[in-house]
Structure 1
């Protein structure tokens, strides 16, 4: 087995978090090697276009009360620094704009950004190894000292590193881990992500003694039409039914079971708990006009979600009146009259100014403008909220709550930040990628000074 030259920072995973950390680290003067199992860099960041999060600690607490306090505070406090970092690379970042009902963020070209980070790393003398797997972490006396790699031709090599960062993007590509840590039927969900995030970071970290977060933390994803597999990454956005926040969602029993206005990403988790993990999403002409064919956020391309689902062979229905809901296809398994009656009950309470059941925080207007647009929907997963525990310096924590020396993690490999709530995955990868680079820099300087007798410690 050939030993590679030792580096200050070994990055496992070349997505948003890993490339951010690598680029920042080489600018800090560190030697860096980046390992990526795929044939190209970028991961799921190539499918994104915004970095956003909660604009204040109060808003973050209101929308994500179960998340780890120190991680939430770090994300909010360091977000502006993250945006400044993107601009420092020469990538254009648009001015701040509202995202969802509570967030604030910036649009930028994520393709340009990840390619720019790659260029920064390589031009500074860093090494990028594609189609390379990470077999195991190297451990010496409880300290992570690098990793053993396997290249595409099966050759094995060791990379020694002062710090090793896990940034493999989560385990959403592994159905066994999804069933274990997300939901017993999580394997049913379509994968709304790159296919290479299969839990490498989770396995490597836990083998080194890392602790992980709560298994019931949930996942980030969106509702999509049932029965339509993703054909290519553009479907991740085009088929996501973001407008569900303004529609009504019913389970197989013909019942509303959640406040849809909390957000499509939260409704996806709620639907996962319902019978057969599927439901009917119903919009009227107002919702269709204002939300179905509109842009989810300013600047995004508008797509007629209903027309696309219908064209692709999804279960869709068009009703000229509520009475026509009585005739839902029998093979769908829903009781049409019960669904119609539930819509009528909602409309009656909304028209009277009464709180519906379940409650509805936003958009309490009745759905009483025909025609009606019906899509059967299911959840799709982007990444899990369960993951490796870290502190606010991106250091991986062991079962005893103390840092595992030499080991860092960032992005969707980490857990604890989100608990059945969400406010920006790109923002988290950006902030904790930069944080990891900072921690690696401190460790590299300390290691250098330790080899120079007479110098004061950092």
Structure 2
């Protein structure tokens, strides 16, 4: 007789868990806290990019919705090996070796992408954000090449369609409020006074980023001011339920995906906008200019690495600045390289024909300090090395206490623009311990019978940061595993 499986949540990880369980013949019900319009957890808020290991274009073509795109013949995807993926994760581990969870992510990432494609979840090259044109070719940089068709909304739509084709059902407005225990075994869930029983429960309900109290408790007081980039429904419910069932906490609870965001955005990415537009509050082209705090000082090396490796950390650094804001400053040489979020209809910025006039418009910034910083920066720029956004070009500064290592160009061509930003939080890194079947491990070291977890609920995947695009891949990898285990 087929097993009954309850999946708590409807984001990418939850849907992958449901697909996997349905593949094995289970009867699957997904329970969603939100209404149908806001279902999907954080997935709809993303740009849909997924990082995975691949050896070359031959690994990518089978994943594409349009393998006959004429641009492909003029595209250099390069390769992104498992060693490179592992090394990138190690760069954010603060000296820790790769965790078991990270090794699983790296080693099964390509396989998982192929599995998604087999369920008609297809992808397209990220020409607009991950490549630059060079000598007539599209050159990809930073190891991140594909995103779901129609970005995060498309990923959700395609995965949900697969679930429905396979016979899974979704209940909306069904917030799970507790687990039903039979001794030490999880046998179902509560939705208020209602009880639903099942052979297995998969918690895929996200982290605690939308819970201000939990952010402060685990991450510190600076995080009170963080803009929540994603869903308002990820309030740590699954983590609290797992803890009540005896789960072992795992991972880095002080950390989270923290992106520079428009200072004046509404919390939760402005829910009045269509989900696909909510990502436009990100402001992640700082590598093409400089960032200044309230004192008018630079506080990070904007060009230390490709932005894929810095954007999820620099939001946290902004929250450490006076007033918890900063301004990103650009000159018109790079306006055509700025991503669409900088020209989004709701983007906040000031513009002036001179730097002096610009800093006078930058609210909250000390003008003399800002001009001193910008003058010193311009004088320190290497003017001999050519600018090349497709590589770590080595075009840096000399003589500054805080260098800019790559892509340093003088700010000398008006008009100039400055964009106010703060730190936004997308998801948290702390979670529970799971085994190689996705079962939640208890504090006694043994699996909790009937209880599985995936997505943001899994701790040990990310620590001090992450290479962009890894979050959705992690959700798919651990969702698939939990679905198979539960079935």
Q: Same fold (TM over 0.5)?
A: yes
Does the alignment pair 1:23 with 2:19? yes
Verify the 8 A CA contact 2:9 2:31 in the aligned structure 1. yes
2:185 maps to which of 126, 134, 143: 143
Report how far residue 397 of structure 1 moved.
2.9
- In the superposition, the TM-score normalised over structure 2's length comes to 0.77
Structure-2 separation of matches of 1:414 and 1:176: 21
Report how far residue 414 of structure 1 moved.
2.4
Verify the 8 A CA contact 2:44 2:276 in the aligned structure 1. no
Structure-1 separation of matches of 2:153 and 2:361: 43
Q: Which moved more, 1:216-225 or 1:18-27?
A: 216-225
Verify the 8 A CA contact 2:252 2:460 in the aligned structure 1. no
- The structure-2 alpha-carbon separation of the partners of 1:326 and 1:169, relative to structure 1 and needing over 3 Å to count, comes to closer
1:453 equivalent in structure 2: none
Q: Tell me, what secondary structure is at the counterpart of 2:205?
A: coil
Report how far residue 286 of structure 1 moved.
1.9
- In the superposition, the TM-score normalised over structure 1's length comes to 0.82
Verify the 8 A CA contact 1:96 1:105 in the aligned structure 2. yes
- The structure-2 alpha-carbon separation of the partners of 1:132 and 1:216, relative to structure 1 and needing over 3 Å to count, comes to closer
Does the alignment pair 1:43 with 2:41? yes
Q: Which moved more, 1:81-90 or 1:213-222?
A: 213-222
Does the alignment pair 1:437 with 2:483? yes
Q: Tell me, what secondary structure is at the counterpart of 1:405?
A: strand
2:354 maps to which of 312, 321, 338: 321
Structure-2 separation of matches of 1:355 and 1:158: 66
Does the alignment pair 1:52 with 2:85? no
Verify the 8 A CA contact 1:222 1:264 in the aligned structure 2. yes
Structure-1 separation of matches of 2:376 and 2:52: 36
2:442 maps to which of 392, 398, 408: 398
- The structure-2 alpha-carbon separation of the partners of 1:364 and 1:113, relative to structure 1 and needing over 3 Å to count, comes to closer
Q: Tell me, what secondary structure is at the counterpart of 1:85?
A: helix
Structure-2 separation of matches of 1:349 and 1:392: 52
Within 5 Å, give how 1:92-171 maps onto structure 2: 92-94=122-124, 98=130, 101-109=141-149, 110-150=152-192, 155-161=193-199, 163-171=200-208
1:449 equivalent in structure 2: none
2:293 maps to which of 246, 251, 265: 251
Verify the 8 A CA contact 1:221 1:379 in the aligned structure 2. yes
Structure-2 separation of matches of 1:239 and 1:160: 40
Report how far residue 18 of structure 1 moved.
0.8
2:387 equivalent in structure 1: none
Structure-2 separation of matches of 1:364 and 1:270: 20
Verify the 8 A CA contact 1:10 1:34 in the aligned structure 2. yes
1:413 maps to which of 457, 465, 472: 457
1:342 equivalent in structure 2: 373
Verify the 8 A CA contact 2:10 2:31 in the aligned structure 1. yes
Structure-2 separation of matches of 1:172 and 1:284: 34
Report how far residue 128 of structure 1 moved.
2.6
1:387 equivalent in structure 2: 431
Q: Tell me, what secondary structure is at the counterpart of 2:482?
A: helix
- The structure-2 alpha-carbon separation of the partners of 1:243 and 1:392, relative to structure 1 and needing over 3 Å to count, comes to farther
Report how far residue 111 of structure 1 moved.
4.0
Q: Tell me, what secondary structure is at the counterpart of 2:249?
A: coil
1:71 equivalent in structure 2: 101
Unaligned 5+ segments in structure 1 are 296-301, 442-458
- The structure-2 alpha-carbon separation of the partners of 1:308 and 1:126, relative to structure 1 and needing over 3 Å to count, comes to closer
Within 5 Å, give how 1:257-406 maps onto structure 2: 257-261=299-303, 262=305, 263-290=310-337, 292=338, 295=339, 302-305=340-343, 308-309=346-347, 314=348, 316-325=349-358, 327-328=360-361, 332-351=363-382, 353-354=397-398, 356-406=400-450
1:455 equivalent in structure 2: none
Report how far residue 392 of structure 1 moved.
4.7
- The structure-2 alpha-carbon separation of the partners of 1:428 and 1:228, relative to structure 1 and needing over 3 Å to count, comes to same
Structure-1 separation of matches of 2:365 and 2:163: 55
Q: Which moved more, 1:131-140 or 1:398-407?
A: 398-407
Q: Tell me, what secondary structure is at the counterpart of 1:132?
A: coil
1:200-226 superposed Cα distances (whole Å, 9 cap, x missing partner): 111111111223345554222422222
2:216 maps to which of 179, 186, 204: 179
- The structure-2 alpha-carbon separation of the partners of 1:373 and 1:351, relative to structure 1 and needing over 3 Å to count, comes to same
1:237 maps to which of 279, 289, 299: 279
Count the aligned residue pairs. Answer: 416
Verify the 8 A CA contact 1:306 1:373 in the aligned structure 2. no
Structure-2 separation of matches of 1:357 and 1:113: 44
Report how far residue 125 of structure 1 moved.
4.3
Report how far residue 243 of structure 1 moved.
1.0
Structure-2 separation of matches of 1:274 and 1:414: 30
1:223 equivalent in structure 2: 260
Does the alignment pair 1:425 with 2:471? yes
Report how far residue 124 of structure 1 moved.
4.2
Does the alignment pair 1:195 with 2:193? no
RMSD over equivalenced CA pairs, Å = 2.8
